[in-house]
Amino acid sequence: MESPAAPDTLAIAANLASVRARMAAACARAGRQESSVRLLPVTKTVSAARLRAAVAAGLTRFGENKVQEAKGKAAALADLPVEWSLIGHLQTNKAGDVLKFAAEFQALDSLRLAEALERRLHGAGRALDVLLQVNTSGEPSKFGLPPDEVLPFARAVAAFGGLRVRGLMTLAEFTPDQDRVRACFRRLRQVQTRLRDTALPAHMNWDELSMGMSGDFETAIEEGATTVRVGQAIFGARPLPDSHYWPERPTA
């Protein structure tokens, strides 16, 4: 007889079903195919034991915003068929760490980091999927390239053969005002349009728009998200405010 699923697995599966239903409804409203939006479960602060339950609930890819936490969990789950996306700021001196466990890096926003990654990738003879992070809210505390700097940045990294550019990522303004949130998502799509209208090397692909989290993923889907990064709606509320997990960019 099959053993009954653990309570954690059942709870995660129920939350997942509800997130997927809301994603499907948002796709229907926007006239989009459900298969055009990928759900990236975000697992910061979620223990490796609960991640095992999440894998039992059918998840195979996780996103983490801190490289140290991600590395530890990747090691703890090395026996499972899981892929990792790094979705947060990375210090240049940690570039080598990403290559050890991540299949994708969504927060590229500096040339120094791009150069460090390229050097390591070249040495290892491999490539890494990357998204360029754009600061669409204009908040100085947020990481990401200002919208106007994305095109020159894209030109600068075009020659880096190890970086497989797949699109753009953003965090919307933290506000309950969905109009302001929506404006951030629209800005990301405008940047994408500008990149597509510009003669950039054909190996650079701009299809991915990674935007939307637990509080705003439906709005993001309406505005064209191809990846939504959802944590709390799947794993439950985090005990501390986001500022605790989200080291802000020094503005001094």
Ligand X SMILES: *Cc1c(COP(=O)(O)O)cnc(C)c1O
In a 10 Å sphere around its CB, with 0-12 CB exposed, 13-18 middle and 19+ buried, how is residue 41 labelled?
Answer: buried
Q: Output the smallest distance, CB 55 to ligand X, in A.
A: 18
SS3 32: coil
Distance between CA 244 and CA 181 in Å, rounded?
Answer: 22
Between 116 and 233, name the residue whose CB sits nearer to ligand X.
233
Least distance from ligand X to the Cβ atom of residue 13, Å: 18
Give me the residues that bind ligand X (CB under 6 A), please: 42, 44, 65, 87-88, 171, 213-214, 229-233
Helix (H, G, I), strand (E, B) or coil at 251: coil
With CB atoms as reference, the residue minimizing the distance to ligand X is 231
Shortest Å, Cβ 182 to ligand X: 17
Q: Is residue 30 within 8 Å of 218, Cβ to Cβ?
A: no
Q: Compute the least distance from the CB of residue 77 to ligand X, in Å.
A: 19
Question: Which residue from 238, 249, 134 is spatially nearest to 184, judged by alpha carbons?
Answer: 134
Nearer to ligand X, 86 or 95 (CB): 86
- For the record, the structure tokens of 248 come out as 């802000």
Q: Which is nearer to ligand X, 221 or 233 (CB)?
A: 233
Closer residue to ligand X in complex, CB, 205/232: 232
